[in-house]
Chains A and B, each alone.
Chain A
Amino acid sequence: SQQGEEDPQALSIQEGENATMNCSYKTSINNLQWYRQNSGRGLVHLILIRSNEREKHSGRLRVTLDTSKKSSSLLITASRAADTASYFCATDARGSGNTGKLIFGQGTTLQVKP
């Protein structure tokens, strides 16, 4: 079963605009990760934020985590056409015993128009 929901399901913006997508989850976590997937192929790891962190930056990416609300957001600034992809959040559940089990959301499909 999916861990939670991502919002919005689809997002269409113009190049240069910022894109924000949100993720909610259900259980206590060790960390939360964001992945990108192009055209139904393999996933690419973008950023990881640990449960004791509130905000993290990587290039044009900014991730926030609110463990009290069990939610996270991914902000992509100054978007480019190449950012067009599906974006997934994935949680590593606390107590999972390092089983390598990531629980993914349903994803947000981002389209960046040139």
Chain B
Amino acid sequence: DAGVTQSPTHLIKTRGQHVTLRCSPISGHKSVSWYQQVLGQGPQFIFQYYEKEERGRGNFPDRFSARQFPNYSSELNVNALLLGDSALYLCASSPLGGNEQFFGPGTRLTVL
């Protein structure tokens, strides 16, 4: 079975631009969570979506937004990019009622 997939793998943007990151969960998983991992730190929670609704939001500015589609895939959007947004963005899916989260390989975003 395919695991969580994310695209693109790497991305380079300049300050002020906008970026869209994509995630496909494991088949049958309806919950998708997004995390930001800055180099040398642990992942920080950004959003969780379940059944296309936002169920949780971390301490991130409104420049960060996300949505979940009917097929449970998800997009993370970041507007007005800052240098500090450079990080590995991780998507994780989990089954209904599950505690364990299954992570994708991540998208490495570099903002110049």
Contact = CB atoms under 8 A, between A and B. Distances in A.
Given A41-B105, A88-B43, A101 B33 contact: yes
Contact of A99 (B55, B59, B97): B55
Interface residues of B, number: 32
A100 B55 contact: yes
Contacts of A114: none
A88 to B, nearest CB: 5
Given A43-B90, A92-B99, A102 B45 contact: yes
Band of interface residues on A? 20 to 34
Interface of B: 4, 31, 33, 35, 37, 39-45, 48, 50, 55-56, 58-59, 88, 90, 92, 94, 97, 99-106, 108
Interface of A: 1-2, 30-31, 33, 35, 40-45, 48, 88, 90, 92, 96-107
